[in-house]
Structure 1
Amino acid sequence: MDVDSDSDISLFGDEDPRAKGKGKGKASERPRKGKAKRKAKEQAYTWEASYTRSWDTVQEDETGSLQGSVEDLMARGRRRRLLAPASAIRRTIIRHLVLILDLSNSMMDRDFRPTRFDLALRYAREFVAEWFDQNPLGQIGVVGMRSGLGERVGEMSGNPQDVLRSLSDRAKLEPAGEPSLQNAIEMARGNMSHLPTQSSREILIIYGSLTTCDPGNIHETLEVCVKSRIRISIIALAAEMKICRELSDKTGGKFGVAMNEGHFKDLLFELVPPPVQQATIRNAGSGSGNPPADLMMMGFPTRLPDTSTPSLCACHSDMKSEGFLCPRCMAKVCDVPTDCDICGLMIVSSPHLARSYHHLFPVKPYEAVASLDDTSQSASACHACARPFPAAPSSGVVTEGISPLGRYRCPDCHHDFCTECDVFVHDVVHCCPGCGK
């Protein structure tokens, strides 16, 4: 009976004088259990720490508006444009990029939300879409490294839908084993061995591990990449490794360690513009710099309508009505830009070629107007969208490139533009509406 009564007391909490001692014992254990639960709750996923009281990071002004925080975000992009070279520089607009994804077990860590693997896939898809929008003459291939091997995830293609399709199947990209930098780089180098000298050869590695399982000497692979003029850029998700730094520095690429999700995306999207050709990048053992500029042979195809007679394409051997005809051999291809499989001619369209010019002749950064003078008082509205400028300044001084009047002036045509038009001109239009430069 004592046993039954004690069990009843512990289950239903009946008051009994015989259970006072045990009640005290259980009461003393309750705070310990509460502390253990609070401690386990505090030691949740590490990415949750960045969202703890995230509303404190947003600063309001005197009137309670969040416009200042929005302008700070715009000023960050404006400072990036001010640091970029505004004059015409030599870039390679025909790019070939191999995206190498780390598919090892370390990508399942949860220091990035929700995991490194899921975040890398999402940002990779966004990067591919933006990359093709800014580089319509380029091609991208995808390689994964897991279980000590390099796997071809997607063939090199100039069609963004094909590349995005290869990155959309998460089940086929499930992480496993350890990565191998040497095997992945060798596979990427083999995919670009047939490319002409006038096109750029780039490798972008998203690396989340702290180890690499290589079958040979990776420094020999590095020397071959330097001789082949292959740029290797690495974004590390864990920490900096010496071999990763050497791969980037010796090949002329970029290296960075992502501190959080936003920094990871910034590092990734910094590689969207074409790299600047520098004479300091030389072949190993030879003092030669970049090759001299040379003319390229391109062909502008004839587009076939949907109502044309179906015929076999030279690239996939599929019966299709729509397509493009090579101007040299009259072979049919599915998409442009591409290289003709029959005669080897590079086939491009004139809109793709025109959209690549803004990298060679960028729009000059607009100057923030701090005060009105006699010549600009007549301009009461934005020259692009015709929206009136604010009558009173929002602040007294210009901070971080922000105009207190909301005006940004072109240094060539001296027309004033609002903040939204400034961002739109430099990020989308790539041509000043006032002077056409």
Structure 2
Amino acid sequence: HDHHAQVSVISLSPELYALRKVVEMTGGTFSVATSPIHFKRLMQKHLTPPNWVSSPSYIKMGFPVRRACDGNHTADPPIKCMCHNRLQKTFVYICPQCHSPVCEIPVNCPVCRLPLVDDDALKKHHRHIYSMPTYTLLPTVDYPKSYTCQFCGTDFTEGGARCDQCLSDVCYECDMFAHNKLRHCPGC
């Protein structure tokens, strides 16, 4: 695979030729922030990993079973892990494919090379697997016109955004909550 770095720039001043050239050469984006809120929105777009160029494929993973072992030989005898070739006195994880013991996860099984993970590791990476749709800044409107946040119901005239996927209009606070806490769009 031909992997390369993609450089994007958020400028606080007018465009610089050298930065624009680097952005064009790497396929990134160039933006100029016009306000603190606009800067935060532009930064937020870069927190979500870009879409992969290649099509998705399944990765076979194993969810090992944790097995206790007793270092005093009173119950289960100590078990030698396959990754370090040392006796483990408390517990090991058993590979579901080849039944080899390993002392820690996540790791590739040293015998069959199956990636061994636990559900906590998958939860931590969930937001990168299922990335949030992008939001587009809404233009400022003059009172008495306003937008209504489709998440909390408040009216706002500036600082809002629209989900590019479900077209929900949201206020700044709900936008930040969706991106920083929920990590998904409630409207989608």
Normalising by structure 2, what TM-score?
Answer: 0.53
Q: 1:175-221 CA deviation, whole Å, 9 max, x = no partner?
A: xxxxxxxxxxxxxxxxxxxxxxxxxxxxxxxxxxxxxxxxxxxxxxx
Give 1:339 shift: 1.3
Equivalent pairs, count: 144
Q: How does 1:161-180 map to 2 (within 5 A)?
A: none
- Specify which of 162, 168, 176 is matched with residue 415 of structure 1: 168
CA RMSD of aligned residues (A): 4.1
CA deviations over 1:205-255 (Å, ceiling 9, x no partner):
xxxxxxxxxxxxxxxxxxxxxxxxxxxxxxxxxxxxxxxxxxxxxxxxxxx
Q: Is the 8 A contact 1:89 1:360 kept in 2?
A: no
Tell me the distance in 2 between the aligned counterparts of 1:364 and 1:425. Answer: 11
- Give the structure 1 partner of residue 43 of structure 2: 80
Question: Which sections of structure 2, spanning at least 5 residues, go unmatched?
Answer: 1-34
Give the aligned partner of residue 347 of structure 1: 116
Verify: 1:303 aligned to 2:66, yes or no: yes
Q: Identity of counterpart residues, as a percentage?
A: 28
Give 1:326 shift. 0.6
Q: Distance in 1 between matches of 2:56 and 2:150?
A: 41
- Structure 2 counterpart of 1:311, which letter? P
| Match runs of 1:142-161 below 5 Å | none
Residue type of the partner of 2:178?
V
Q: Secondary structure at the match of 2:83?
A: coil
Tell whether 2:141 aligns with 1:371.
Answer: yes
Which whole-Å deviations, capped at 9, do the CAs of 1:337-360 have from their partners, x for residues lacking one? Answer: 201123332212345346545435
Q: Return the alpha-carbon distance in structure 1 between the equivalents of residues 57 and 167 of structure 2.
A: 37
**Whole-angstrom CA distance in 1 between matches of 2:69 and 2:173:** 40
Which residue, 329, 335, 339 being the options, matches 2:98? 329
Task: Give the distance between the partners of 2:182 and 2:77, measured in 1 at CA.
Answer: 38
Native 8 Å contact 2:48 2:128 kept in 1: no
Aligned to 2:66, the other structure's residue is in SS state: strand
Q: 2:179 is paired with a residue of what secondary structure?
A: helix
Cα distance in 1 between the residues matched to 2:125 and 2:150: 28
Give secondary structure in 2 for the equivalent of 1:342. Answer: coil
| Stretches of structure 1 lacking an aligned partner (at least 5 in a row) | 1-70, 92-291, 394-403
Q: Structure 1 CA distance, aligned partners of 2:67 and 2:154? A: 49
Match of 1:315 in 2: 83
- In the superposition, relative to structure 1, how do residues 431 and 322 fare at CA in structure 2: closer, same or farther (>3 Å)? farther
In 2, Cα distance between the equivalents of 1:79 and 1:293? 27
Distance, in Å, in 2 between the alignment partners of 1:408 and 1:349 is 36
Q: What is the identity, as a one-letter code, of the residue corresponding to 1:303?
A: R
The offset of 1:310, in angstroms, is 6.1
1:88 and 1:361 in contact (8 A); partners too: no
Q: Where has structure 1 moved over 6 Å in runs of 4 or more? A: 83-87, 305-308
> TM-score of the superposition, structure 1-length normalised?
0.27
Preserved contact between residue 309 and residue 321 of structure 1 (Cα < 8 Å) = no
- 1:322 CA drift (Å): 3.5
Q: Distance in 2 between matches of 1:416 and 1:310?
A: 61
Alpha carbons 2:109, 2:116 under 8 Å: kept: yes
2: CA distance between counterparts of 1:416 and 1:86? 23
Distance in 1 separating the partners of 2:131 and 2:167: 17
Change (3 A) 1:326 1:86: closer
The structure with more helix, counted as a fraction of residues: 1
Are the aligned partners of 2:135 and 2:162 in contact in 1 as well (CA < 8 Å)? Answer: yes
Taking structure 1 as reference, are residues 303 and 434 closer, same or farther at Cα in structure 2, changes over 3 Å only? farther
1:303–1:82 distance in 2 versus 1, CA, 3 Å: same
CA distance in structure 2 between the partners assigned to 1:86 and 1:298 by the alignment = 22
- 8 Å CA contact 1:310–1:319 kept in 2: the answer is no
